[in-house]
Every structure is written in structure tokens, then in C-alpha cells.
Structure 1
Amino acid sequence: MTADVEMKEVQALSNSVSSAAVPSTLQHLKEIASLIETGAQAKEVRRIVRAVRLTMMLRRKLRASVISAFLGHVLTPGSEVLAKLSSYLPKPDEHEMDVDTAASAVQGPAKHSIPELEIYCYLLVLIFLIDQKRYDEAKVCSSASIARLRNVNRRAVDVIAARLYFYYSFTYELTNNLAEIRGTLLALHRMATLRRDELGQETLLNLLLRNYLHYNLYDQAEKLRSKAPRFEAHSNQQFCRYLFYLGKIRTIQLEYTDAKESLLQAARKAPVAARGFRIQCNKWAVIVRLLLGCADWRFGAI
């Protein structure tokens, strides 16, 4: 009997030690915040890229309690941005609190939050709202993030801003209000061009093309595409999207050869994990193949 009790105590102790050795989601977010601060100070965009990538890996573990504790850690207490972002979060339940949430309250929050961290906090809250399917609140949050971005002109923000542009359009698409933001996207594209934000230009151009094609406005999409400034692609994902939209435009314009080349290139360059995107490319490629009437162009070559 005594041996059984001792075994249970040893097992409970080992479990507690092993769980304490694994960093919590809040600790991971703090490390990401440090990475963003270092990248902003050293003007190293690759650190910001890594921070965004790590955030996407954590998105399934995000909870309201964790995000609330993180906001209190990195944002200035009593600031407007802290109050605004906290209003989008539901009140966390006690059972949702992480182990180190109480410890984070003891540590003093940042006295002055840098713009990169503020924009990142908008992104974090927005991702949480979308994953929780609270689309109306996500739409309001995304609009607030765009308003904040207009007043920030720092190259370290460009990577985070590109993600916010995408989710801004995505939330309006989810709520069937995509036409409402077309003028805003055009203004943001002009702003990105003036600021020489090439990643922002790529992202916003694709969002505008998607906006036009969503409503079958192919002539306006081609007019915008032809007048858009030329630059070297910085994101393979954005370049693949651009080729896909170009292939759709060329198909409607009866330029089947150019459409075929664009769709084939988009399918080849797309990441293996982007299965849905590759399927869409293949569907449009089949349409072009049928229109061309090329019997020797096999579907397996796509």
C-alpha cells in the first residue's frame, strides 16, 4: 500500500517537472516579441519573417487568456491600443489560464512599446478572432489595424503589414463585403508604392485582382495589372497567386497560350502543401486545354 502511494507521488512529480520543462504558449510569444524587438532595432527583416512564421505555428494553441496576458506584457499599460485590443477578446475563464500567466503579471510590462510590436499585437488578435469564427469582430479589428498601419512607415513593419492586408481582405470576403474595401485597397497599394514597400505592393496587387475577379470584372483587373509598377518578386507565394490570376484573365481574354503558360508555372512553383491552390490551377488548366483542343497536352504534365 505504501509502495503504491510512493509510486503515485513519484509519477506526479515527474509529470510536473516534465510539464514545467516544456515552454508554454505565452513564453513562446514572449520570445517572438523579443525577436521582433531585435529585428526592429537591427533593421533585420529576416527576424520579423521568422517571428511571423513562428506565430503561424502557434495559432492553434492561442487562447484568450494567453493573448490577454501577452498584450499586458508588451503594450504600455493604460494605452489606447491595449484597451482597444483587449475589447476584442472574451473574458478568459480560470481553467484556461496558463501556468505562467500569474508570473507574467508580476513582471513589469514594457514601458514603451515599439510600433512593430503594436502591429504584431493587431495581427495576433486578428488571427485569434478568425480562428474563433468571430468574423464581424475580426472585420472591425482588421479595419482598426489598417488605420494604424497608415501612420507607420518602417521597413521592419512591412512583413507584418502584408499579413494584415491579407486578413483584412479575407475578413471582408468572409462577411460578403469584399466590394466595400476596393477603394481602400487601391489607396493602400498607392501608399505601398510611394513607400517602396515591394512586399506590400505584391500582396495588395493580388488582393485587388482577387477582388475584381470575385465580381467577374476582368477588364478592370487587366487594366490594373497592366498599369501596376514592375518589380522583382520577393514572395514565391504572392508570385504564384499573381500567375494564377493572370492565367484566369488571359483565359477570359481568349489568349489561351499565355493562360496555359501562366497556370502551368503557378502550379509548378506552388508549395507542395498548397494542395487547394494547385487544384484550382489544375481546374483552370483543364479548361484551357479543352479550349485549345490540344490532344497531346496531357493532364499529367500539370
Structure 2
Amino acid sequence: MTPKAGETVVEKMEVDEVKPETQEKQEPVKDVNAIAVESIKEQLAALDKGEEHLVTRVLQVLPKTRKQLNDIVLHKLVSAHLSSDSQFGESLLKYLHYTPPPADTEVQPMDTTAPKSKSPKKAMKPVYSSPESDCYVRLLVLLHLYAQKKHAEALTLGEQQLTFIYNTDKRTLDGLAAKTLYFLCVIYEREGRLFDLQGFLNSRLRTATLRHFNESQAVLICWLLRCYLINRQYQSAAHLVSKVAFPENASNNDLARYMYYQGRIKALQLDYNSAAGYFLQAQRKAPQEGAIGFKQAVQKWVVVIGLLQGEIPDRSVFRQPIYRKCLAHYLDLSRGVRDGDVARFNHNLEQHKAEFEADDTLTLIVRLRQNVIKTAIKQISLAYSRIYIKDIAKKLYMTNETETEYIVAKAIADGAIDAVITSDVRDGPRYMQSSETADIYRTSEPQAHFDTRIRYCLELHNQAVKALRYPPKKKIAVETIEQAREREQQELEFAKELADEEEDDF
């Protein structure tokens, strides 16, 4: 039975619609290493121009560039980099443990029939790279060694980088020198030898101050302060802060670190109001994304300073994801201070003493015991109109009644409670007589809080004005002679049209 014409056409159409999968076009696989090499070469081309703002722009994307580094990318980059120093490539390739695969090359026979060229072309002079691009390539290799935890090789390369920068003595190399100094200090701290750099950092700070190298100056000040604080040299740190002038145009990261260290110094000097202001500025200057460890360290000090000032932190702070785990011990501490529970405070202090020592907040937390006792006395004065000193000692877990009486008297003298200590007879048992609670709005306390908020808002406004950035000035385009003639002709025609319109009106 022969099929009909219509059925044959339908079957053919159905067969034609089916396409094998092998005929589909596949997207080409992107070579991530090649893309990284080309991106870094564009950065090197910008650095070769020798302009300071371009160096700053390249260093701003350095965290993104670090994620693209590996032995293959760096080997291709160093091999293709043309430096004026003949030993530049060899000195860097020895740090990269990578052997490129042999290239497949075919030997072609010599063509004897080709005509010989009459006059050979003059050889082009090679264009060597700038010192900025050389330092940047060396910095990338240093970061790669640091990521692989090859600290000894990274220190050797970093010292070579600093020697080259200081011998070249160019202002555009200041940002690269600051980055190199930063990672050298990080490596020394990881190895526990940061104190060995103290003399070197002081000498480099003097040189950077005299030459007005702002970025290097900011990095050196921050690391000197960190070195002093790690070694418990608080007087030296305070003396350094009083003598140096931190650069105003420093980056926000360096400014946040400087504010954090200043807050720690002020807190240890019992100036809690100034310390709280510095910590708040450090939080505002910190990056919105990332720097989680720095934010956690600052928030721990903020909680402790707030407790020392008599302020209980909000529960929402402890519920944030980045603070939930690291502030768990401080949450228990805040509960003990809020409730005035001396026993709970002592238990938390003994249980988490090692964590507080690691955070360098143990010295301030020990001072909180007086605040806990004050809070407990305040609650006792509100709960009892009259209570004996020996009963107060029992509630505060104190064995000496005379010491308890002194503590209550100090709380009365400081204005924490409104009460008097008296006795019914001359040598009878002494007790605390509480006064009636007065209206707080009749005192000067609301005015003091309002003044503190106004000063904070003014400081915030001043910092915002200093942080303003204006767009670069656009270059005025110079018109050619033809454009000037055309513009004059248009102006003449426009003037004639206006004159004709005025004649028509009359």
C-alpha cells in the first residue's frame, strides 16, 4: 500500500524537526587565567603613565585582584613583563614553583624561492616598564607568597621591594610602599615578632613625615600604636598620639584603625566619653561589607564602655548574625550588670576570664564590679526605705560591714542614690534611710544627655563634610578655526533674524 502524498510530507517534516544534540553550538569555555592576566596588564598599562590618581585607583581594586592570583597567572605575567632591570624576571620566577608545558612547534622548511628584502627595517627600541608597574608586580608576588603562608620568602621579597622604593624616591610609589609595609607588619605579627619592627617603624615614620608621604605615614602610625598596645606600652602609645598628626586625606580603613586605637587608649585612661566617641567613629569608617573581625573587636569595646558609663546595650546588638557568637559572654555580663547581681557577675568573670584576656578587655571588666555594686545599691534603695548595713552586705556577698558602709557612702556622695546613713542610738546598728524619689526632669540630667547628643550630631556633620568628594574638572575643549567661523556665522544669521523681526513689528 503506497502512502499518500500528504502523509509523506508530514513524515518528512517530522524527521526534519528532530535535530541531534551534537549539532547544537556549545559556548566556548572561558580561560579564567587568561582573563586575569589581561586584567592585570591593563592595570600595569595605567601604572606606566606615572600618575598618582591612577596608582590609587589600581590599589583600590587590589582585594579583587588578589583572588585571581595563582602560579600560572603570575608566571605568565612576570615572563611577559619587560623591566629595565635584567634580573627582575629571574628574581621573581624563583618564588613561583611552576614549570610551563613545552610548546608544540613545527619546524618548517626554509623557502629558498622567496625574494630577499632589499633594505631591512630598523630595530625598534624596547619600551621598558615604569618603576610603579615593577613594584606592583613584585607586590602581587608578595601577596601570593603570603596567601601560601611562605612567610620567609615573603619577608625577603618585601625587604627588596622597600629597598627599591626608598632608593627610587618617587611620590607615586607611596601607595605601593604603604601596602608593602602593611603586609610585612602582618607577617611579623603572625610570627610573634612585631616588637622587633618597633625601631624600624619609628625611623620610617620620621622619613615619611619629612617627605609628606601620607599613605605610608598613616600605615606606620597605626602599626606603631598596635605594637605599643600589644606589648602593654600604653604610655608610649598615648605619647605617640599626642605628638603625631594623622593625615587628613588617609583612607577610611586606616582612619578606622586609628580611631579604634585612640578609643582603647582613652578607655585605659578612664576617659570613657572620648573613648565612646572614637569607637563610634571607627564603626562608621569601617567598610560596610567585610572587615567582620574588626567590627567585632570594636563592638566588644563599645559594649564594655557603655556598661562602664551606666548604659545597658540594646538586645538587638547581640542578635545580629556577626555578633551573636562573639558577644555571647558579654551578653551574660550585661545581664549581671543590669540586674546588679554580684554573684552572677563574679561567676561570669571567672568562667570567661581567658576570653576577656584574649580580647584585651579584662582590665575594664574588672572595673565593672563597682558599677554592679552601685546598681545593686540603687535597687536596694528603691526597694527598701530603711535597711541595715549588715543586710546590704549579705545581699552584696560582702563579709566586711565597714567596707559595705564605705561603698554605700560613696554611692550617696556620687549622687547615685538619695539616702543617708544613720542609727537610732549612738553605738547602735547603722542603717540606710532612703529619701523620696524626686522628679528627674527637675534635675540637670536631661540637659546633660541632650548636650551629649548635640555634640555627637555636630561631630557627625563635620566628619561628613570632610569626607565629601568632588568630581574631577572636565577639560575645556578648544574649538578649531572652522568651528569658530561657523559659530560666528550662526551668530550673524541669528542677529539678522532678530533685526528683521523688529522691523516687521514696526
What TM-score bracket applies, with the shorter chain setting the length? 0.7 to 0.9
Larger Cα-atom Rg? 2
Q: Which of residues 215, 220, 224 in structure 1 aligns to 2:231?
A: 215
| 1:81-116, Cα deviation, whole Å (9 max, x unpaired) | 332222222124649x9xxxxxxxxxx996433211
Aligned to 1:186: 202
- Is 1:15 paired with 2:28? yes
- Is 1:195 paired with 2:211? yes
Aligned to 2:64: 57
- Is 1:26 paired with 2:37? yes
In structure 2, the CA distance between the partners of 1:258 and 1:78, relative to structure 1 (3 Å rule), is closer
The aligned runs of 1:1-302 (5 Å cut-off) are: 4=20, 6-7=22-23, 10-11=25-26, 14-16=27-29, 19=30, 24-38=35-49, 40=50, 43=51, 45-76=52-83, 79-92=86-99, 94=101, 111-273=127-289, 274-295=291-312, 298=314
Residue type at the aligned position of 2:221: L
Helix, strand or coil at the partner of 1:293: coil
Measured in 2, the distance between the counterparts of 1:174 and 1:22 equals 30
In structure 2, the CA distance between the partners of 1:4 and 1:132, relative to structure 1 (3 Å rule), is farther
Residue type at the aligned position of 1:201: Q
How far is the alpha carbon of 1:63 from its aligned partner? 1.4
How far is the alpha carbon of 1:182 from its aligned partner? 1.4
How far is the alpha carbon of 1:291 from its aligned partner? 2.2
How far is the alpha carbon of 1:206 from its aligned partner? 0.5
- RMSD between aligned alpha carbons? 2.9
How far is the alpha carbon of 1:154 from its aligned partner? 1.6
Single out whichever of 238-247 and 58-67 deviates more from structure 2: 58-67
How far is the alpha carbon of 1:208 from its aligned partner? 0.9
In structure 2, the CA distance between the partners of 1:109 and 1:65, relative to structure 1 (3 Å rule), is farther
Runs of 4+ residues deviating >6 angstroms: none
Single out whichever of 240-249 and 47-56 deviates more from structure 2: 47-56
How far is the alpha carbon of 1:275 from its aligned partner? 2.4
Residue type at the aligned position of 1:24: I
| 1:175-225, Cα deviation, whole Å (9 max, x unpaired) | 221111111111111111111111211111001111111222111111122
Measured in 2, the distance between the counterparts of 1:23 and 1:72 equals 14
Contact 1:206 1:241 in 2 (8 A): yes
Q: Which runs of 5+ in 2 are unaligned?
A: 1-18, 104-123, 319-506
TM-score of the aligned structures, taking structure 1 as reference length: 0.83
In structure 2, the CA distance between the partners of 1:286 and 1:5, relative to structure 1 (3 Å rule), is closer
Contact 1:162 1:200 in 2 (8 A): yes
TM-score of the aligned structures, taking structure 2 as reference length: 0.51
- Percent sequence identity over aligned pairs: 29
Residue type at the aligned position of 2:77: F
Contact 1:73 1:110 in 2 (8 A): no
